[in-house]
Structure 1
Amino acid sequence: MTDAGPLGADDTTFLAAVRSGDPARFARMTERHRRELQVHCYRMLANYEDAQDLTQETFLRAWNKRETFQGHAALRTWLYRIATNACLDFLEKRNDRTPVPSGLTEFGSEVLYLQPYPDHMLPEESVVARETIELAFIVAVQHLPPRQRAVFILRDVLGWPATKAAGALELSVASVTSALQRARVTMRGQLPGRRLDWRSPAAHELSPGERAVVQSYIDAHERNDLHKLTSLLRDDLHFVMLPEAGTSSVTARDAVDGWVSGGLFQPGHDDWRGVTTMVNHTPAAALYLRTPGDPNHRLSAIAVLNIVDGKIAELTGFDATGKPWLGLPETL
């Protein structure tokens, strides 16, 4: 696999680091790519913790295969190739990393292993398009077979030419082109109509309207105001609580009925505090619950809110306990 044009200064320096056999020097050169490689692995796997592990696996493989770097491809290309194939090897060995039936005709499957991606861990040096990191896109990608998934991400997300993607995956250009065409059809079938453009600009801050809705969502919890909470939801709300199976609902009424039957705003689940945040370039509310006898409100869940025309159209809840990588305080 080769890249057009001469090697850059970084690639020449890295080639010297490879030839020196100095692990510290090698690590310094590769470490700068950690965050973008982790985002790449996350798109492939939809799970933050898996992406962390596979990024580390990428660096281990890179060190073990350092002699294969001859300067014919850029360092970044070489590392992406290793990361992609590490993810494919992982998926080949796991039978629990595919969507499962949800029992709902409108949303035929659930991705139970899905985890949010904290914005503070996104690459700082480059723009990550919102549509290619938000949850709806990540879920849709999971419906692609692994190799199609890799082709789609390399070609349509990273913008690699077909020859470069083919070299990374050891496929023919014709195979890559065919896989991309099939992947695009699947993606358009999975994504809601308003999300068919996956190259829109990133949003690094909440808009005033989004911030107001998130704050109202938090206020409703803090005031135990079920009526206010319901008023924030679109009638055709899609809700799911992960990693629990069978929690999907496709109307606001069904979602609220489920929350009430689960004890929301009842004794033991009625002392809430919240913090506005962002994950996956998407508005989110971190919710803290104080249980009887505990002096502190403890991080309980994070609700990721897709807001359309001032109302919550999709709400994906995640268990937030034991996840320090979210970058949220454990107590308030």
Structure 2
Amino acid sequence: MRGIPPTGGSGAPARARHPAGDLLALARSGDGEAFRELVEPYRRELQVHCYRILGSVQDAEDLLQETLLAAWRGIDGYAERASVRTWLYRIATNRCLNALRAVSRRPQEYAAYQPEVPLPEPSRLRAEPSWLEPYPDVLLDEIADHLPGPEARYEARESVSLAFLAALQQLPPRQRAVLVLRDVLAFRSVEVAEILGTTENAVNSALKRARAALAHELPAPDRESSPLPNSPEERRIVDDFVRAFEAGDVDAIVAMMTDDAWLTMPPLPLEYQGPDAVRNFLTTVALRNGLRYVLVPTRANGQPAFGCYVRDPRTPIMHAHGVLVLTLTGGRISVLTRFIDNSLLTLFGFPRSLRT
């Protein structure tokens, strides 16, 4: 068994570029640097693939490392019937499916969460917690910059939107993998069958069921009404929201939201819909008793996002209060998603506390 793990990103020492065939031969001879050069072009897209299936950035990174280690150790068995990319996707997809079949992930985090005040009755209570986490746009940019044209880049971001991923998490694991491989990554049915070790008929059947379920969960994207990322309209909405939220102006926040807007808090299965429910939550929980926040702008899943910090009136320290992501529709906010795990701030390069 090979014992050199392919860890690290693009920080390998510089070396002469080799054709893929030469790199493969060198890797098979035990050249770890040749292996890193062989798989490096696929590293980020494989991580995003694992993220789509698992919904967790941290789990995706763990599974990426497992995938590359398995590929390194098993490279002698790579028969070259498919491309290196397809071979890596086969390993990654099956590792993700094995992870989803394992005992429920991170139940201790959900059980350990204790709200500071009683939470209002939700509009909807999902059967299971959502382990969905936000994905930093700075990582997505590494993929989007290599895609041909704005349409391809839009579709790449759409396929990691929180709405798409939340709907995807409702599918059974095998259907989830089939839909991502076929409709997001555009593998052919015969290739997906090879990746999953099943038949083409089984792939097509799973894809049909997955598409029907996703259409029920996810409304069709309205590209015409949604402001473009980093456009003047989006910046205006974001600036107005920051002013209202930092001032604790519940009326102004609610006025910016659509009539059917949702407020969600992964992993909690509680969801609040509509102006009255959102207003009640903000008044009694998020902005109660004059709580004030500082929002530090960032981007996640192709959407405006913020690192949240709550002010402490007794000290100059502002404490971490999760990550907030906005979903915009037609110039208004259709979803407020607050991720309650403060450790997620580190994914965006934010500290656990700030000083005023």
TM-score by length of 1: 0.86
C-alpha spacing 1:109/1:312, structure 2 compared with 1 (3 Å): farther
Task: State the Cα distance separating 1:285 from its structure 2 match.
Answer: 2.9
Residue 349 of structure 2 aligns with an amino acid whose one-letter code is G
Q: Which region of structure 1 is more displaced relative to structure 2, 114-123 or 291-300?
A: 291-300
* 1:272-296 deviation per Cα after TM superposition (whole angstroms, max 9, x unaligned): 2222221001122332222133323
SS at structure 2 position matched to 1:293: coil
C-alpha spacing 1:263/1:19, structure 2 compared with 1 (3 Å): closer
Matches within 5 A, 1:21-36: 21-36=30-45
Is residue 261–residue 275 contact of structure 2 (8 Å, CA) maintained in 1?
yes
- Give the corresponding residue for 1:43: 52
RMSD: 2.7
Is residue 41–residue 55 contact of structure 1 (8 Å, CA) maintained in 2?
yes
SS at structure 2 position matched to 1:59: helix
Residue 286 of structure 1 aligns with an amino acid whose one-letter code is G
2:238 corresponds to 1:220 = no
C-alpha spacing 1:172/1:137, structure 2 compared with 1 (3 Å): same
Distance in 1 (alpha carbons) for counterparts of 2:220 and 2:228: 23
Task: State the Cα distance separating 1:68 from its structure 2 match.
Answer: 1.3
Distance in 2 (alpha carbons) for counterparts of 1:279 and 1:289: 20
2:165 alignment partner, one of 127, 138, 159: 138
- Give the corresponding residue for 1:235: 259
2:337 corresponds to 1:316 = yes
2:235 corresponds to 1:211 = yes
C-alpha spacing 1:97/1:105, structure 2 compared with 1 (3 Å): farther
Distance in 2 (alpha carbons) for counterparts of 1:205 and 1:40: 22
Residue 212 of structure 1 aligns with an amino acid whose one-letter code is R
Is residue 129–residue 268 contact of structure 2 (8 Å, CA) maintained in 1?
no
Matches within 5 A, 1:35-114: 35-96=44-105, 111-114=129-132
1:154 alignment partner, one of 164, 177, 181: 181
Distance in 1 (alpha carbons) for counterparts of 2:248 and 2:180: 43
SS at structure 1 position matched to 2:50: helix
SS at structure 1 position matched to 2:327: strand
Is residue 289–residue 299 contact of structure 1 (8 Å, CA) maintained in 2?
yes
Residue 254 of structure 1 aligns with an amino acid whose one-letter code is A
Aligned residue pairs, count: 314
Task: State the Cα distance separating 1:213 from its structure 2 match.
Answer: 1.2
Is residue 326–residue 335 contact of structure 2 (8 Å, CA) maintained in 1?
yes
Residue 294 of structure 1 aligns with an amino acid whose one-letter code is T
SS at structure 1 position matched to 2:263: strand
Task: State the Cα distance separating 1:299 from its structure 2 match.
Answer: 3.4
- Give the corresponding residue for 1:291: 312
Is residue 120–residue 327 contact of structure 1 (8 Å, CA) maintained in 2?
no
1:168 alignment partner, one of 181, 195, 203: 195
* 1:174-197 deviation per Cα after TM superposition (whole angstroms, max 9, x unaligned): 1111111111111101102446x9
Distance in 2 (alpha carbons) for counterparts of 1:17 and 1:140: 43
Task: State the Cα distance separating 1:265 from its structure 2 match.
Answer: 4.7
Residue 325 of structure 1 aligns with an amino acid whose one-letter code is L
Which structure 1 segments of 5+ residues have no match?
Answer: 1-8
- Give the corresponding residue for 1:116: 134
- Give the corresponding residue for 1:258: 281
Identical columns (%): 37
Residue 240 of structure 1 aligns with an amino acid whose one-letter code is T
* 1:146-187 deviation per Cα after TM superposition (whole angstroms, max 9, x unaligned): 111111111111001111111111111111111111111111
TM-score by length of 2: 0.80
Is residue 298–residue 348 contact of structure 2 (8 Å, CA) maintained in 1?
no
- Give the corresponding residue for 1:4: none
Residue 134 of structure 2 aligns with an amino acid whose one-letter code is P
